[in-house]
Amino acid sequence: MKKIIVACGAGVVTSTTAMNKLNEELQARGYEEGQDYKLIQTSVQSVESMADQADMAITTTQYDNDSIKIPVINGLPLLTGIGADTVIDQVENLIKEG
C-alpha cells in the first residue's frame, strides 16, 4: 500500500478538498483507499518530518525542499480541475509500481 501525504498551508481546508478529489478519481479508476493507498493529511510545514513515512507528497501550495527523497507533486490542479488528470495519473503510476 502506498502512503501519500496531502498537504496545504494549514493542513485543513484545501488539503481536504484535494484529498476528496483524489479519492473520488482513484476509486473511479478501481483503487481502494486502505487497500491500495493511504492518504495522510497535514500542513506543508510537516511534510519534511513525515516524508520518511510516505511514498509521495501532494501539496496545494508552493513547496520546495531538496532534503526529502520522495516525489512532491503540485496538487493545485485537484482544486481547479485544470490538469487534475495529470496529477491522478502520477498517483496511479505510483500505486501500480507496487
- Separation of CA 5 from chain center: 5
Cβ contact 75:25 at 8 Å: no
Residue 23 backbone phi and psi in degrees, to 5: -60, -50
Residue 96's SS3 state is helix
End-to-end CA distance of the chain: 7
Specify the pTM.
0.93
Q: pLDDT digit string (tens) for 28-46? A: 999 999 999 999 999 999 9
Q: Which residues are catalytic?
A: 8
Q: pLDDT digit string (tens) for 7-22? A: 999 888 999 999 999 9
Class of domain 2-96: alpha beta
